[in-house]
Amino acid sequence: MKRNDFSQDVYTNINIPDEMVEGLVSDLKKGRRRADIRFRYSTAIMALIILGVVGLGSFGASAAYMTYKNRIQEMSEDEKADYAQELSNDEYNTSSEARVRDLTQSEYERYLELEDAYYKEGVFPKNILKHVETMDEISPDELAFVEELNKINMPAGELTDEQLLQLIDHEAKYIYTIEQNAEKETVAAQNEDLSVEDDTEWPEDWGEPFMDDIIFEVTPEEEASAKELAFGLLKDMYGETITDSWNCSVTGNDFSSFYGGDEAWIGYDVEIYESDAPNATTYQITIPRKESGVMMVNCSGKKYYSDLTEYTRQEAEAYVDEGKKAVCGFLKEWFGMGEPDRYEIDGFKNGLDEDITSSTICFILTYGDENISVDWNINSKQVISFAGRGLLENIAKKVEK
Question: What mean pLDDT is reported for the chain?
Answer: 80
pLDDT tier for residue 302 given thresholds of 50, 70 and 90 = confident
Model pLDDT for residues 201-239, shown as the tens digit of each residue: 655 555 554 555 688 999 999 999 999 999 999 999 999
Q: Which long-range contacts (CB under 8 A, 24 or more apart) does 90-94 make?
A: 90/1, 90/2, 91/2, 91/150, 92/1, 92/2, 93/2, 93/4, 93/5, 93/6, 93/350, 94/2, 94/3, 94/4, 94/5, 94/36
Give the span between the Cα atoms of 40 and 298, in whole angstroms. 9
Strands across the sheet with 247-254, in order? Answer: 215-216, 247-254, 266-273, 282-288, 294-300, 382-389, 370-377, 360-367, 342-346
DSSP state letter for 241: P
Predicted confidence (pLDDT) at residue 25 exceeds the cutoff of 50: no
Can you give the pLDDT at residue 260? 84
pTM: 0.73
Q: Give dist(CA 240, CA 162) in Å, integer.
A: 31
pLDDT at residue 123 in the model? 93
How many CA within 13 A on the CB side of residue 149?
Answer: 20
Kindly tell me the burial class for residue 32, based on how many C-beta atoms sit within 10 Å of its own C-beta (0-12, 13-18, 19 or more).
Answer: middle
Q: What is the pLDDT of residue 180?
A: 84
The confidence band for 19, taking pLDDT boundaries of 50, 70 and 90, is: very low
Question: First CA to last CA across the chain, in angstroms?
Answer: 52
pLDDT for 56: 32
pLDDT of residue 206: 52
354 falls in which pLDDT band (50, 70, 90)? confident
pLDDT digits (tens, 9 = 90+) for 42-75: 333 443 333 333 333 333 345 665 688 889 889 9
Sign of the alpha-carbon dihedral angle for 207, 211, 213, 214: positive
96 pLDDT tier (thresholds 50, 70, 90): confident
Quick: pLDDT tens for 229-279.
Answer: 999 999 999 999 999 999 999 999 998 887 888 999 999 999 999 988 888
User: For the chain, what are the domain ranges?
Assistant: 18-53+214-400, 63-190
| CB distance 132 to 77 below 8 Å | no
Q: Per-residue pLDDT tens for 333-342?
A: 999 999 999 9
